[in-house]
Structure 1
Amino acid sequence: MKKAALAPALVSLACLLSTAAFARPPIGQDAAKVTPDMIQTGSDIPAAWKTPQGDVDYVKREVMIPMRDGVKLHTVIAIPKGARGLPMLLERTPYKASGFMPENSPHLADAVWSGNKDWADGSTILVWQDVRGKYGSEGDYVMTRPPMGPLNPSKTDDTTDAWDTIDWLVKNIKESNGKVGMIGSSYDGWTVAMALLHPHPALKVAAPESPMIDGWMGDDWYHYGALRQVNLDYFTEQTTAKGEGESVPRENYDDYTNFLKAGSAGAYAEAHGFKQLPWWNRFAAHPAYDAFWQLQALDKLLVAHPSSVPTMWLQGLWDQEDIYGAVHAWEALEKAGHGANNHLVMGPWWHSQINRDGWAIGPLKWPGDTTAQFRRQVLIPWFQHYLRGTPLPKPLPEAMIYNPVAQRWDSFSDWKPASEQRLTPLYLQADMALGFQAPAGGSDSYVSDPAKPVPFLPRPIPQKNDRWRTWLVQDQRFVVDRPDVLSYVTPVLTTAVTVQGAPIADLFARTTGTDGDFVVKLIDVYPGTYPADPAMGGYELPVSLDIFRGRYRKSFAEPSPIPANQVQEYRFRLPTVNYAFQPGHRIMVQIQSSLFPLYDRNPQTYVPNILFAKPSDYRKATVTIEHGADGRSAVLLPVVSGAAHGG
């Protein structure tokens, strides 16, 4: 058949097939008889599903609570079934209030997340609230919204939002007794501290856990001016979406490589779109401790607006994220004469571990679940005393700090703020020695190369890293042989050296550069063999460490170049400890100039804003640590004897 004749035939065949398809009988035409109940009409999803409540031991409510400016905040309330006259426990969060009840269980203790399980015994109404602009709440989200004032010209902040929320709860939750406690960790601890600036009369007790108090001095964003650049993921996770944003995408598995290839932290951030983020633009414009940071420092604000609410300032001894906030807030209030209603608690924990199990931190194992024991024996009874009037097993001391060596809680009736400590110098000595006697003289040098910064963990260091929680107890032998790390060590101890308080690094150093960082680590060196736990033989356990950016040696607010080749003093506080170096152990002090990629690299050339240092600014520098006539470098230790008793 010719093509011309074939085409009409194909068209006719297609029409025939099409007609046949439309004419086919419905599927199942030959099946058994169809009854009305078999016929599908409408959606299989009901207009309003209600879960039967017969076996459920609580009532869950989701409400929108109006604030004074009309913005409504999404709030989840879990009320034990049959509740009458119960107190309320409030947590305000940017981390999705509905996520605090992750399990679909008829039993409240099984429905809530780990941090609330011990509270879910039927004695407390649990309340979680999304802060403004996050998840189910209306309004604009601002990263740790500043208090009303020069940085916040509006008429609302997280202090007023807490006040309005508590006011609504006591007026509308009829099952309550009209009393509220507040709790929360990290950002949620910050919301507790904000509520304390002007507390509602119904707020009877509070526990900020690992709270963000001063993001420049030593919490999430900076430590004494050195940027914690791995936290840049938090910027995108929190501020790119109303719900959960994504972290910064990675080209390489090892973050050491990712940040090194990017150059400066600012180059890394802006290559990933951060200029779109208002928070980043404000943040990046203020690398020094200027009014932007000073006016948000909550330890100062809490002293200016002290409350009478009984408050437990709680954090971990090895808190890898917010090791600064709780202890500095407590110290500021104590020094200002407000110690009567403020208590300090420090456990053997990583960040927010108080809300999880506490059997261990890294290689350090405890004789029990320290977090569960503390929650059940101390924290909850203390809250219930103020919320329900139940008697306390014993009064909460001024300070309650875990002793990791004796593996017990120590109670203190007169714990001294750092400024009131008596300090004993532990001097750097010749031949990499360390001792309490004055040094004879000398110095030691190393070359700090920004192209080869000292890692804070053994490589590779992936973004999602289980070692992040416990990096502060990482064995430091992995850097001890690096030529850019100085390790000074005492002879084997013949008697215990007990340290209670905040060690102070006091370095006298010169550098060939015009800027530089100083990392100081106080380390417990275990004996070479350790029968109690053979894996700990020779372990170099960090007890306290921090970093200091040299440009701030004179003023945190007004940085200045370091005069090249001139000795300068760098004095800064290390995190608080309660530790006894044992006979048979040695004490080590390590000094280095980088802790990467946790902290951004110092170019070692003075530039106005290190966030935007150019590749040509990064230069090697020879750093010399003095321990003689030009300066007796030391770590000043709060050595004590008989200052505590078993708690």
Structure 2
Amino acid sequence: MKFLLLLAGATLALTPALAQQTPPLSGDVPASFAYPTDARDYVRREVMIPMRDGTKLFTVIVIPKGATNAPILLTRTPYNAAGRANRVANSPNMASLLPQGDEPFVRAGYIRVFQDIRGKYGSEGDYVVTRPVIGPLNKTKVDHVTDAYDTIDWLVNKANLPETNGRVGMVGSSYEGFTVAMALLNPHPALKAAAPESPMIDGWMGDDWFHYGAFRLANIAWLGKQTGFKGAGSEAVSGIYDDYEQFRRIGSAGAWAEKSGYANLPYWQRMVAHPAYDGFWRGQALDKLLAANPSNVPTMWEQGLFDQEDMYGAITAWEALKAKGKAGNNFLVMGPWRHSQANYDGSSLGDFKWNGDTATEWREEYLFPFFDQYLREGRPAFTPPQALIYNTGDNRWEKLSQWPLACDAGCAAPMTPIYLGADGGLGFQKGQPGGDSYVSDPGKPVPHLPRPVNFGDGRWGAWLVSDQRSVDGRTDVMTYQTAPLTQAVRVSGAPMAEIFAKTTGTDGDFVVKVIDVYPDDYPNEPKKGGYQLPISLDIFRGRYRDSFEKPTPIPAGKVQRYRFRLPTVNHVFKPGHRIMVQVQSSLFPLYDRNPQKYVPNIFLAKQEDYQKATITLSRGGAQASAVWLPVVAAGQTPAQP
């Protein structure tokens, strides 16, 4: 005790001295702090670029240290410009800081620019999903066309960016590809080359929101993250892991939106108000707008053959421009890729390995030299093939001077029907008249992947190459196949589904798949024995069989014709393989369920509206269901060196 008293006394005696030596306790977060930048091989600037209406857009500019007379590569994004230019956070190396796909441009000394579109992240203004062009759907005086123009105008002004040579290229995938395409409607003179990758071109016909009228539930969560928050947002959480069960239990997409809060989002309300292909969607269809205002900017359109999100836009825009006589400055690339995989590793997809890293090969050998000849003086001339398309059967690139190789008119070969036959047969000869029936039950829809289906489980990117044996054999999936092929069959173009069918309901969907069935014994990869690889598939909502704008009920019990284009293929069915066609009436939860009872707006369907229906497919005779394939002979391939 005496010792403790002495110690306490000594401590008290020291306290005044310590107080004089120790500063007052304060917070450990300084008013400002930044990491040293001396080791960086670049200079990073963040600026607010003014638009013509006074709105300022947040823009990140990454400049190689010491750069002079450098070209600019621009991306306009709704996905956080600051984050897009910070792949490896605060890396001293420009190649690590920027996205993987930028590597050849970094090596060549390009200035890289990312900009938040208006209303998102650091930019001012109002955000509108895929803001329409100025006109009936946009009464303001600004759109992505004017914003791109004003941004480029600012960037090429040496008073703002003295390191530039005044030449700009634009690149971007998905929504970013949409902003590239919009810039082409009235391009700034300094925009010398463009590459819209997997661009959103027509959200109703075949990109993000619908496919031929069937609503894509897979993308619904994006809407909350994107429009519910200016910056990074979160998805609605249901507490149910299996999205198949979640959406089936709750009913319609509208019922899900009410429960999750999405019904309060303006864009959701606009979609619900426009379920058909009316002026709201037609007025935003960029393929039509581009054809009406074709530019002279050299443009490389890229799209994955297995793009699970935007498979429609790039090829449709390219075809529209080609029809307007603009093939000389528009080029098509289709690789064996999922959505946006062109910017990452492209050596495989799902269970399939390609002939090397196809995406890196494309960026290095085609995309970069295409841009470089226009953006830097004295660079070698580079003319890409009219169409660079991967052959997913022969596992190699093909450089084509004409595309497609087979079509209804104006191609090297006509389309060839392959007919649904009796007893599950499939052949190039029409069989005897007959029919096959199945019961489609909205309570037990066909899953697009084996359950449980969760859109965040890692299978989303590769689902289009998933083995279709998971549904083959279901009583509501009709399967037709050829005998093993004795010689190769090459298809190169867009197949057309032509289904003749009657239903006991008054509405209904038709899903058609073209499938390559591998031999039962596949020694090199035994697990692929019997694999059913879908090379082309899509869905069609029956109420739009006569008009996309004005839907009508299906007359119960009467055969109707459903004809629609399937996604592009460039494939060879090898000897020993089989050609298969599957037909079904749901693909869930990727697409919403059709009640199979006609209601004015399927978004608002009630639980009691969903009913079973018996569908009968017609075979043979005058109403012979078939898929028209773009079959070509080997000698009909117009190769380009």
TM-score w.r.t. length of structure 1: 0.94
Structure-2 residue corresponding to 1:13: none
Seen in structure 2, the aligned counterparts of structure 1 residues 93 and 117 have a Cα distance that, compared at 3 Å, is same
Seen in structure 2, the aligned counterparts of structure 1 residues 543 and 141 have a Cα distance that, compared at 3 Å, is same
| SS of 2:300 mapped into structure 1 | strand
Picking from 196, 207, 218, the partner of 2:184 is 196
Q: How far off its partner does 1:118 sit?
A: 3.5
Q: How far off its partner does 1:440 sit?
A: 1.8
Equivalent-residue separation in structure 1 for 2:376 and 2:282 (angstroms): 38
Seen in structure 2, the aligned counterparts of structure 1 residues 576 and 29 have a Cα distance that, compared at 3 Å, is farther
Picking from 169, 178, 183, the partner of 2:166 is 178
Equivalent position amino acid for 1:551 in 2 = R
Picking from 63, 80, 93, the partner of 1:79 is 63
Equivalent-residue separation in structure 2 for 1:29 and 1:125 (angstroms): 64
Q: How far off its partner does 1:537 sit?
A: 0.7
Over the aligned positions, Cα root-mean-square deviation in angstroms equals: 1.8
For the Cα contact (< 8 Å) 1:456–1:596, is it kept in 2? yes
Equivalent-residue separation in structure 1 for 2:283 and 2:599 (angstroms): 25
Seen in structure 2, the aligned counterparts of structure 1 residues 62 and 561 have a Cα distance that, compared at 3 Å, is same
Picking from 322, 328, 332, the partner of 2:316 is 328
| SS of 1:558 mapped into structure 2 | coil
Question: Which 10-residue stretch deviates more, 362-371 or 587-596?
Answer: 362-371
| SS of 1:522 mapped into structure 2 | strand
For the Cα contact (< 8 Å) 1:502–1:575, is it kept in 2? yes
Structure-1 residue corresponding to 2:561: 569
Equivalent position amino acid for 1:129 in 2 = Q
Seen in structure 2, the aligned counterparts of structure 1 residues 26 and 419 have a Cα distance that, compared at 3 Å, is farther
Equivalent position amino acid for 1:58 in 2 = Y
For the Cα contact (< 8 Å) 2:404–2:492, is it kept in 1? no
Picking from 149, 162, 165, the partner of 2:148 is 162
User: What does the per-residue CA deviation read over 1:85-137, in whole Å, with 9 as the maximum and x for residues that have no partner?
Assistant: 01000000000000111321111011123232333225100000000100000
Question: Which 10-residue stretch deviates more, 372-381 or 415-424?
Answer: 415-424
For the Cα contact (< 8 Å) 1:238–1:245, is it kept in 2? yes
**Is 2:8 the partner of 1:52?**
no
Picking from 498, 503, 506, the partner of 1:506 is 498
| SS of 1:167 mapped into structure 2 | helix
Equivalent position amino acid for 2:639 in 1 = H
Structure-1 residue corresponding to 2:48: 64
Identity of matched residues, %: 59
For the Cα contact (< 8 Å) 2:408–2:415, is it kept in 1? no
TM-score w.r.t. length of structure 2: 0.95
User: What does the per-residue CA deviation read over 1:217-255, in whole Å, with 9 as the maximum and x for residues that have no partner?
Assistant: 000000000000121101101011101121121231100
Question: Which 10-residue stretch deviates more, 101-110 or 469-478?
Answer: 101-110
Picking from 96, 101, 106, the partner of 1:110 is 96
Q: How far off its partner does 1:628 sit?
A: 2.2
For the Cα contact (< 8 Å) 1:408–1:646, is it kept in 2? no
Equivalent-residue separation in structure 1 for 2:366 and 2:466 (angstroms): 30
Equivalent position amino acid for 1:132 in 2 = R
User: What does the per-residue CA deviation read over 1:290-336, in whole Å, with 9 as the maximum and x for residues that have no partner?
Assistant: 00000000000001111100000101000000000000000011011
For the Cα contact (< 8 Å) 1:553–1:569, is it kept in 2? yes
Question: Which 10-residue stretch deviates more, 63-72 or 375-384?
Answer: 375-384
Picking from 271, 287, 297, the partner of 1:299 is 287
Picking from 249, 252, 255, the partner of 1:264 is 252
| SS of 2:289 mapped into structure 1 | helix
Larger Rg: 1
**Is 2:246 the partner of 1:254?**
no
Q: How far off its partner does 1:480 sit?
A: 0.5
Picking from 355, 358, 373, the partner of 1:367 is 355
For residues 368-517 of structure 1, the aligned pairs below 5 Å read 368-392=356-380, 394-416=382-404, 420=409, 421=411, 422-517=414-509
Equivalent-residue separation in structure 2 for 1:25 and 1:150 (angstroms): 85
| SS of 2:632 mapped into structure 1 | coil
For the Cα contact (< 8 Å) 1:510–1:564, is it kept in 2? yes
Question: Which 10-residue stretch deviates more, 512-521 or 384-393?
Answer: 384-393
Seen in structure 2, the aligned counterparts of structure 1 residues 85 and 508 have a Cα distance that, compared at 3 Å, is same
Equivalent position amino acid for 1:123 in 2 = G
Structure-1 residue corresponding to 2:116: 130
**Is 2:309 the partner of 1:309?**
no
Seen in structure 2, the aligned counterparts of structure 1 residues 440 and 602 have a Cα distance that, compared at 3 Å, is same
**Is 2:531 the partner of 1:547?**
no
Structure-2 residue corresponding to 1:279: 267
Question: Which 10-residue stretch deviates more, 605-614 or 389-398?
Answer: 389-398
Q: How far off its partner does 1:394 sit?
A: 4.9
**Is 2:599 the partner of 1:615?**
no
Q: How far off its partner does 1:43 sit?
A: 4.9
For the Cα contact (< 8 Å) 1:74–1:129, is it kept in 2? yes
List alignment gaps of at least 5 residues for structure 1.
1-23
Equivalent-residue separation in structure 2 for 1:577 and 1:27 (angstroms): 85
Equivalent-residue separation in structure 2 for 1:27 and 1:191 (angstroms): 70
Equivalent position amino acid for 2:560 in 1 = Q
Equivalent position amino acid for 2:631 in 1 = V
Q: How far off its partner does 1:28 sit?
A: 8.2
User: What does the per-residue CA deviation read over 1:355-405, in whole Å, with 9 as the maximum and x for residues that have no partner?
Assistant: 111110011101311111111111111111110145447520111101122
Seen in structure 2, the aligned counterparts of structure 1 residues 424 and 389 have a Cα distance that, compared at 3 Å, is farther
Seen in structure 2, the aligned counterparts of structure 1 residues 80 and 567 have a Cα distance that, compared at 3 Å, is same
Equivalent position amino acid for 1:562 in 2 = I
Question: Which 10-residue stretch deviates more, 337-346 or 115-124?
Answer: 115-124
For the Cα contact (< 8 Å) 1:473–1:542, is it kept in 2? yes
User: What does the per-residue CA deviation read over 1:454-495, in whole Å, with 9 as the maximum and x for residues that have no partner?
Assistant: 000000011312110001001000100100000000011011
Equivalent-residue separation in structure 2 for 1:276 and 1:203 (angstroms): 39
**Is 2:176 the partner of 1:152?**
no
| SS of 1:61 mapped into structure 2 | strand
Equivalent-residue separation in structure 1 for 2:527 and 2:104 (angstroms): 34
| SS of 1:541 mapped into structure 2 | strand
Alignment coverage as a number of residue pairs: 624
Equivalent position amino acid for 1:504 in 2 = M
Q: How far off its partner does 1:511 sit?
A: 0.5
Equivalent-residue separation in structure 1 for 2:10 and 2:520 (angstroms): 84
Picking from 567, 571, 580, the partner of 2:572 is 580
Structure-2 residue corresponding to 1:531: 523
Equivalent-residue separation in structure 2 for 1:424 and 1:32 (angstroms): 98
Equivalent-residue separation in structure 1 for 2:322 and 2:478 (angstroms): 37
| SS of 1:632 mapped into structure 2 | coil
For the Cα contact (< 8 Å) 2:518–2:577, is it kept in 1? yes
Seen in structure 2, the aligned counterparts of structure 1 residues 414 and 36 have a Cα distance that, compared at 3 Å, is farther
Equivalent-residue separation in structure 2 for 1:617 and 1:27 (angstroms): 83
For the Cα contact (< 8 Å) 2:75–2:114, is it kept in 1? yes
